[in-house]
Chain A
């Protein structure tokens, strides 16, 4: 009797300018298996379901436990982490595609550096660099920690951006992840030194105003970050900042 197998259909593309095509793969079922483990097996043994040898598939992955944010891809049409996508809960054949809103590198691998660039543009860090020891930072009270901790869980997977109808080349919208990080670092007692700069940055073209509040981001976020709450809070802060700037100017 043949072992139980799992059917996959993977979108292949050798490079950014090459044509895309679909290939079918069949891997042996194992209890509790996830999509990323199947991707590993397919890459190790690159033979299609028809028995035809092919090139090993390319994909990003690292931690395999939904903490690094690398393996985001579209699985059965929905953006999600391949590591937390359990095969037993998916309809077969499982269709695996690269994220659609980022420049393709190869197969399932995309260039998500726009998020890193956005984080830099809103100064999403705590400025403590210096030539001498600055001592311990101000105390963060537990109540504040409760608000900040969920925001700090962001793994930069870009699922929130992929599922956002406003995140596209026409708007150049910054996306929910960056806005949530603005809230996180504005809440930080040392990080808030850049608060006004961050809020002004977010009022630029492609800024927070482009949000259409479809709320897909908060649905798709694998880390359950309260993204819509962050957008609302930061949206108010940006409006207040712009009003202050206008009246002071």
Chain B
């Protein structure tokens, strides 16, 4: 038989095992990790940094944005399905990938190899930061989904500690790098940019995009600590909230049959 092994043929005693052709499920898990990094996690990062930008307009503008996000339909479902669970999976599988890799940048100090290592360290830093950030800002202290107006005050209070401020700034660098290089890696590994020249061009796109996100993120941090909105009120009144209260009152009036009053309150609210 053609496939019979020659008795003298060497058998692999140890070392790296050969490809398990067509076996196992690691392909799907690895590609899921890769895809989730761009959508939805990357998309969420962009949304988050754009939302942060509203802080440039002060406590009311920022509070309105937090109010808007927390009043999206099925917002708690969106939050878990498109943010928390994907990040959790991306983080855990990413650490698993890291543990199985064997960095050798000491022997081969080449650009791509440095980026490979940096992607792992920035990813780990991002995991630590996001864990802290979500715990303190989403699940501890003032409950922002129910008190969106307090958002600016809460963040400003958090960033008043210089160590935490430094932590946020470093995390902004780490996360923007991790995302920008991640998008570049995604395009390379999914065969979108197979050509060397295409990858070089796309590196500029990712680099500039990442830098813009970084600049916007740092500018937003500055909005909290720069002094322009020093000592932000804990509970500024948002016109959205007023509208809601008015609408609730109007609904009550509706029950009592006072149609005229509704129109008046509605026009005042708008």
Contact = CB atoms under 8 A, between A and B. Distances in A.
Interface of B is mostly: loop
B107 A78 contact: yes
B194 interface: yes
Contacts of A201: 19, 21-22
A235 B116 CA distance: 18
Interface string B61-103: 0000000000000000000000000000000000001011111
Nearest to B107: A77
A45 interface: no
Interface residues of B, number: 46
A215 B108 CA distance: 11
B193 to A, nearest CB: 7
B269 interface: no
Given A168-B16, A239-B190, A213 B185 contact: yes
B194 A167 contact: no
B191 A237 contact: yes
A121 B107 contact: no
Contact of A113 (B12, B97, B191, B194): B12
Interface string A209-249: 11111111001100000101101111111110010000000
A103 interface: yes
A163 B19 contact: no
B190 A236 contact: yes
B188 A114 contact: no
Nearest to B11: A113
Contacts of B199: 228, 232
A163 B113 CA distance: 10
B113 A216 contact: yes
Interface of B: 10, 12-28, 30-31, 97, 99-104, 107-108, 110-113, 115-116, 185, 188-196, 199
Interface of A: 16, 77-78, 101-103, 111, 113-114, 117-118, 121-122, 161, 163, 165-174, 178, 200-207, 209-216, 219-220, 226, 228-229, 231-239, 242
